[in-house]
């Protein structure tokens, strides 16, 4: 599994003109599910996201997690995180999981975060969405459950 995690002051996602997810201060997580991903990848990545220390403490150091701050998490499914553009100009998405598996893991991922007591909002799986946010810092972290980066 792959995730792009951004620290945000606010964030919302709309589809067909309807807001389907919105948070104030917290994390925007773009989530991609790969063909070989397992339940272990899901657990690893959910734990990493909620415990990622990228919020500032009283000394101005990035030392707090979203759990510490009580922020929200907005999770948006994004198969394009598995886009491979190393050859040619059109990315290949063969590394992305098929939709049924991706939908299942997307749901389990959001539930794993909810179980930590956090407010979790989502986009709409497989829909064309518009994401609006204010990235604070800016802070953007790339995560991969296989620890490729």
Q: Where are the alpha helices (DSSP H) in the chain?
A: 39-51, 66-69, 99-114
Cα angle 54-109-64, degrees, rounded to a multiple of 5: 15
Task: Round to whole Å and give the CA distance between 35 and 54.
Answer: 29
Element (DSSP H or E) covering residue 102: helix 99-114
For 71, the token pair is: 């922020």
What tokens appear for 114 in the block? 């909810």
Query: What residues contact 35, with CB distance under 8 A and at least 6 apart?
Result: 94, 95, 96, 97, 98
Give the largest CA-CA distance in the chain.
48
Catalytic residues: 78-80
């Amino acid at each position: 599994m792959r995730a792009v995690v951004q620290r945000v002051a606010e964030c919302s996602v709309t589809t067909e003109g309807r807001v389907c997810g919105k948070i104030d201060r917290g994390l925007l997580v773009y989530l991609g599910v790969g063909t070989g991903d397992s339940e272990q990848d899901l657990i690893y990545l959910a734990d990493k996201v909620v415990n990622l220390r990228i919020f500032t403490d009283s000394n101005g150091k990035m030392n707090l997690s979203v759990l510490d701050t009580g922020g929200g998490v907005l999770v948006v499914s994004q198969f394009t995180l598995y886009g491979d553009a190393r050859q040619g100009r059109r990315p290949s998405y063969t590394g992305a999981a098929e939709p049924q598996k991706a939908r299942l893991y997307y749901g389990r991922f959001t539930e794993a975060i909810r179980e930590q007591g956090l407010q979790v909002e989502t986009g709409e799986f497989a829909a064309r969405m518009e994401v609006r946010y204010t990235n604070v810092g800016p802070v953007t972290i790339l995560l991969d459950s296989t620890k490729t980066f």
